[in-house]
């Protein structure tokens, strides 16, 4: 149990590195929390800094999730419930970074980074399938928020279909539901027809 807590703390700190905030502050000299949607995630970075920086932030946020899983697996083993807890911790670090008074992003990219390395090699396929869902919904509706939520909700279904350990199914479901919670204002705007399109 002590080992799990240790690696959750380490993973939280990895996740709490505010990539979008740092990119906007260092490159543009602005606090991205004061513009656009106020989020430090890639979607708001795209509005402020353009597509290339949005891609950079997305990839870096994914790498945070991947790094937490890889470090834990290398140091503490691949026990499914420990990896699931670590995956949750790194996403919480992104969503609630200690350095920004616990006001962060929505955790979509970091969740994908977690999922990709959660259960190799099956999770590679799961991440790619969910990514395809994201792309299909985003290109047809132009709603990044809707694509993100629906693709994450597909994750536990894919884990279940591939007979993954229960902790991976439960962990991916918790992360998907938490992403819905973080998208609360987007859901309201979608229901009112006021959500911004890409």
Question: C-alpha angle 90/94/100, rounded to 5°?
Answer: 130
Task: Using a cut of 0.75, tell me whether the model's pTM lies above it.
Answer: yes
Least Cα distance to 174 among 97, 96, 89 occurs for 89
Q: Is the confidence at residue 2, as pLDDT, over 80? A: no
Q: Is 22 helix (H, G, I), strand (E, B) or coil?
A: helix
Q: What is the pLDDT of residues 65-103, one digit of tens each?
A: 999 999 999 888 889 999 999 999 999 999 999 999 999
CB 14 within 8 A of CB 26: no
Q: Is residue 95 part of a domain?
A: yes
Q: What is the pLDDT of residues 153-185, one digit of tens each?
A: 999 999 999 999 999 999 999 999 999 999 999
Q: Is residue 197 part of a domain?
A: no
Distance CA 72, CA 27 (A): 32
> 95: domain range?
2-192
Classify the phi-psi angles of 29: left when phi > 0, otherwise alpha if psi is within -120 to 50, otherwise beta: left
47: exposed, middle or buried (Cβ count in 10 Å: 0-12, 13-18, 19+):
middle
Which pLDDT belongs to residue 77? 81
Q: Is residue 198 part of a domain?
A: no
Q: What is the pLDDT of residues 4-63, one digit of tens each?
A: 899 999 999 999 999 999 999 999 999 999 988 888 999 899 988 999 999 999 999 999
Q: Is the confidence at residue 109, as pLDDT, over 90? A: yes
Which pLDDT belongs to residue 51? 92
For residue 113, name the pLDDT band (cuts at 50, 70, 90).
Answer: very high
Q: Is residue 86 part of a domain?
A: yes
Q: Is residue 18 part of a domain?
A: yes
CA dihedral 168, 171, 176, 177 (to 10 degrees): 140
Q: How many domains in the chain?
A: 1
Q: Is residue 130 part of a domain?
A: yes
């Amino acid at each position: 149990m002590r080992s799990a807590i240790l690696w959750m703390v380490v993973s939280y700190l990895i996740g709490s590195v505010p990539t979008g905030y740092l990119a906007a502050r260092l490159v543009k000299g602005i606090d991205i929390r004061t513009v656009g949607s106020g989020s430090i995630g890639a979607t708001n970075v795209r509005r402020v800094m353009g597509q290339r920086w949005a891609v950079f932030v997305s990839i870096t946020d994914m790498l945070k999730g991947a790094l937490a899983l890889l470090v834990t697996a290398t140091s503490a083993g691949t026990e499914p419930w420990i990896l699931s807890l670590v995956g949750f911790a790194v996403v919480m670090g992104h969503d609630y970074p200690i350095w920004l008074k616990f006001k962060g992003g929505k955790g979509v990219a970091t969740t994908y980074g977690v999922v990709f390395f959660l259960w190799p090699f099956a999770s590679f396929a799961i991440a790619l399938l969910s990514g395809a869902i994201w792309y299909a919904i985003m290109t047809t509706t132009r709603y990044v928020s809707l694509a993100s939520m629906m693709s994450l909700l597909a994750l536990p279904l894919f884990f279940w279909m591939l007979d993954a350990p229960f902790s991976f199914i439960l962990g991916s479901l918790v992360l998907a539901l938490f992403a819905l919670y973080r998208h609360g204002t987007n859901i309201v705007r979608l229901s009112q027809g006021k959500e911004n399109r890409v």
